[in-house]
């Protein structure tokens, strides 16, 4: 893991800029996609995928939520945030979404529950052709709910192992609303953990505590050989993104969409190849943008932002990584080559050693070679 931290600057500088293509702000037929050079449905479904921003807590279906509720003798009508048997299609605001997330988190009460959710997640990623994921786990909340740390890690390992064809790394997050003391406790959990932990994250509502109070995250992450991912510029202002880089030493920014409103910051992100984990549907579902067409994904791509695409809380948001890539192709006008570059960027900024990142990139390159051979016929 020490090699990860040492190679980030080189990875950023090595990423190529995207090509510019016309917007296609509606669903296209296969013939239309071929005609204007967009990635096809086959390209989207077949590409080896890498997802770097997906939460464990928002990652189980309505069916699993019902199973967990019944397992604990709970009334599903009270325990699960359902509307006509489904999760809400939109949330009033971010706190409204957090209430739904907390309700689901409360269903996960035992190591067996953790394993159930982890197994479903792994199988779902494998079914999409995701070869590597970094899943954000709020481990402290599970421990405080009564799950012993060694049982938590064992359940996660066992669940993830049900789909060995997909690799999963864990980013353990601290919720900033609860203060720097929780981040200190997270590091103590990580030190004693027997799990594939690759990073540490800071999530929650921005600006609830002075950001300088969390400045030790970089020092402690370096000591343990971990990457640092910070949610910033989601509900907070552009200054939150800059401070996450300057004060916290973030390797990646979760969301970062507020940067679209700050020209100098956007130019800095492009110049320094700062990775943004962009989750379009999530941003729309909590009301940051009125529609996918209003989301800045296309402007980020055209500006040359070093972005990756993720689903954030896919089941609660009614999406998936595959669906988010469909949106990216449609909104930013991506070709198959662009789609491959998007996944290479994710490989380059994953919290893995250099050889492991290059192995992921090689999988994407092999796919790209097949696509080029098909197009040449």
> 43-88, pLDDT tens digit by residue?
999 999 999 999 998 789 999 999 999 999 999 999 998 988 899 8
For the record, the structure tokens of 102 come out as 């907390």
Whether the predicted pLDDT of 9 surpasses 50 = no
Q: Please, what are the domains in the chain?
A: 2-376 (3.20.20.140)
Q: Spell out where 110-163 has E strands.
A: 130-137
Sequence-separated (6 or more) residues with CB below 8 Å from residue 356 = 350
At residue 29, the pLDDT reads 54
Q: Is 355 exposed, middle or buried (0-12, 13-18, 19+ CB in 10 A)?
A: exposed
Residue of 51, 134, 206, 234 marked catalytic: 234
pLDDT mean across residues, the chain: 91
* CB-based contact 170:197 (threshold 8 Å): yes
For the record, the structure tokens of 73 come out as 């003798």
Count of CA atoms in the C-beta half-sphere (13 A) of 203: 24
* CB-based contact 114:149 (threshold 8 Å): no
Whether the predicted pLDDT of 22 surpasses 80 = no
At residue 185, the pLDDT reads 98
* CB-based contact 270:311 (threshold 8 Å): no
CB atoms within 10 A of CB 45: 13
Query: How many angstroms separate the first and last alpha carbons of the chain?
Result: 42
pTM score, two decimals? 0.90
Q: Is 234 a catalytic residue?
A: yes
Distance CA 269, CA 303 (A): 10
> 144-171, pLDDT tens digit by residue?
999 999 999 999 999 999 999 999 999 9
Distance CA 343, CA 364 (A): 7
* Cα-trace Rg, the chain: 20
* Most distant CA atoms of the chain, gap in Å: 60
Distance CA 24, CA 36 (A): 10
At residue 207, the pLDDT reads 87
* CB-based contact 166:130 (threshold 8 Å): yes
* CB-based contact 131:50 (threshold 8 Å): yes
User: How far is residue 341 CA from its own chain's centroid?
Assistant: 17
Whether the predicted pLDDT of 234 surpasses 80 = yes
At residue 33, the pLDDT reads 58
Sign, CA torsion 310/313/314/317: negative
> 290-330, pLDDT tens digit by residue?
999 999 999 999 999 999 999 999 999 999 999 999 999 99
Position 11 confidence tier, pLDDT thresholds 50, 70, 90: very low
Count of CA atoms in the C-beta half-sphere (13 A) of 68: 24
> 96-137, pLDDT tens digit by residue?
998 999 999 999 999 999 999 999 999 999 999 999 999 999
């Amino acid at each position: 893991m020490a090699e990860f931290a040492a190679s980030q600057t080189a990875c950023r500088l090595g990423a190529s800029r995207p090509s510019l293509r016309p917007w296609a702000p509606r669903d296209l037929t296969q013939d239309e996609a071929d005609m204007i050079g967009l990635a096809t449905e086959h390209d989207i479904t077949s590409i080896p995928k890498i997802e770097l921003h997906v939460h464990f807590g928002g990652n189980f279906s309505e069916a699993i939520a019902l199973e967990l509720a019944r397992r604990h003798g709970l009334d599903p009508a009270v325990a699960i945030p359902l509307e006509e048997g489904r999760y809400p299609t939109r949330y009033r605001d971010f706190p409204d979404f957090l209430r739904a997330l907390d309700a689901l988190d409360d269903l996960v009460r035992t190591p067996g529950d953790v394993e159930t959710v982890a197994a479903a997640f792994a199988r779902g990623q494998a079914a999409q052709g995701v070869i590597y994921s970094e899943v954000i786990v709020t481990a402290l909340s599970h421990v405080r709910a009564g799950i012993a740390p060694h049982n938590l890690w064992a359940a996660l390992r066992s669940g993830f192992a049900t789909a060995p064809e997909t690799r999963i790394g864990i980013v353990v997050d601290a919720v900033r609303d609860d203060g720097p003391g929780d981040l200190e406790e997270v590091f103590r959990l990580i030190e004693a953990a027997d799990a594939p932990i690759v990073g540490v994250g800071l999530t929650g509502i921005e600006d609830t505590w002075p950001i300088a109070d969390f400045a030790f995250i970089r020092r402690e992450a370096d000591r343990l050989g971990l990457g640092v991912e910070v949610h910033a510029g989601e509900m907070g202002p552009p200054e939150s993104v800059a401070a996450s880089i300057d004060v916290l030493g973030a390797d990646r920014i979760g969301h970062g969409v507020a940067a679209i409103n700050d020209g100098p910051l956007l130019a800095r992100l492009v110049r320094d190849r700062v990775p943004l984990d962009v989750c379009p549907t999530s941003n729309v579902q909590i009301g940051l943008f009125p529609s996918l067409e209003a989301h800045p994904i296309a402007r980020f791509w055209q500006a040359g932002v070093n972005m990756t695409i993720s689903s954030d809380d896919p089941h609660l948001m009614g999406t998936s990584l595959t669906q988010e890539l469909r949106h990216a192709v449609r909104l930013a006008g991506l070709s198959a080559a662009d789609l491959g570059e998007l996944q290479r960027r994710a490989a380059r900024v994953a919290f893995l050693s250099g050889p492991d990142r290059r192995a992921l990139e090689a999988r994407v390159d092999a796919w790209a070679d097949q696509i080029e051979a098909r197009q040449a016929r």
